[in-house]
Chains A and B, each alone.
Chain A
């Protein structure tokens, strides 16, 4: 158990819908990262937050957004969902530049 929690574990929804994925980092970790794992794109970095502020952005679509709250938990919002958004979404957390510990992931299926 990495100490990073993600909910829900599975999510099935329809095209055009909007979903919110939630992540709670390990105790003491200020950085939260979101990654997407799909068959065609592999593991891709989406976005990083540090203590509530956006710190880095990767290949995140404009339809996706994220935020980190004062209690350090983070949410990833995915809107206008398309079939191609079906993937495993991971959250990770770290202390500064140290190793990132990953949550169990949320498997999103868009039908």
Chain B
């Protein structure tokens, strides 16, 4: 069975601090995708990144970076020099691709508050 765990329920940081959001997943599949989505106070879900299970390269996009480690089943997300606009709930998700279905299993989310 698949499972995504985001152990950090809430995190508060002061603006310009770096922050890492943890994500640990469980799956029996060898082919899967991992995602991060952002849900700002306005409520929409914004796609941030998708990573497939065969690509363990870390990725950096501006102030965002992601660390995928298959050995520990983790896909952590770091925001460098946080800003108030980063305040949101962040969801990690897993997709197992079988028979054309690729629905997302979400973690419970981490609420990030960036204090000015």
Asked if A and B are interacting partners, one says yes
Determine whether B102 belongs to the interface, using a CB cutoff of 8 Å to chain A. Answer: yes
Q: How far is the CA of A56 from the CA of B2 in the complex (A)?
A: 15
Q: How far is the CA of A42 from the CA of B91 in the complex (A)?
A: 10
Interface pair A99/B50, CB less than 8 Å apart: yes
Determine whether B62 belongs to the interface, using a CB cutoff of 8 Å to chain A. Answer: no
Q: Is the interface of A mostly helix, strand, loop or mixed?
A: strand
Determine whether B64 belongs to the interface, using a CB cutoff of 8 Å to chain A. Answer: no
Determine whether B108 belongs to the interface, using a CB cutoff of 8 Å to chain A. Answer: yes
Digitize A38-71: 1 where CB-to-B-CB distance is under 8 Å, 0 elsewhere. Answer: 0000111100101000011010000000000000
- Tally of contacts, chain A with chain B, CB under 8 A: 57
Closest residue to A47 on the B side, CB-wise?
B103
Count chain B residues whose beta carbon lies closer than 8 angstroms to a beta carbon of A.
Answer: 22
Digitize A80-109: 1 where CB-to-B-CB distance is under 8 Å, 0 elsewhere. Answer: 000000001010101001111111110100
Interface pair B104/A45, CB less than 8 Å apart: yes
Q: How far is the CA of A50 from the CA of B102 in the complex (A)?
A: 11
Interface pair A56/B91, CB less than 8 Å apart: no
Interface pair A102/B44, CB less than 8 Å apart: yes
**Residues of chain B contacted by A42 (CB below 8 angstroms):** 106, 108-109
Q: How far is the CA of A94 from the CA of B102 in the complex (A)?
A: 10
Interface pair A45/B105, CB less than 8 Å apart: yes
A97 touching B33 in the complex, CB below 8 Å, given contacts A55-B101, A88-B43, A102-B44:
yes
Determine whether A77 belongs to the interface, using a CB cutoff of 8 Å to chain B. Answer: no
**Residues of chain A contacted by B102 (CB below 8 angstroms):** 31, 48, 94, 97
**Residues of chain A contacted by B47 (CB below 8 angstroms):** 2, 99-102
Q: How far is the CA of A104 from the CA of B44 in the complex (A)?
A: 5
Interface pair B50/A2, CB less than 8 Å apart: no
Q: Which residues of B contact A (CB under 8 A)?
A: 33, 35, 37, 43-47, 50, 91, 95, 97, 99-106, 108-109
9 A–B contacts from the bound complex (CB under 8 Å):
A35-B104, A42-B109, A48-B102, A50-B100, A97-B33, A97-B95, A102-B37, A103-B44, A104-B44
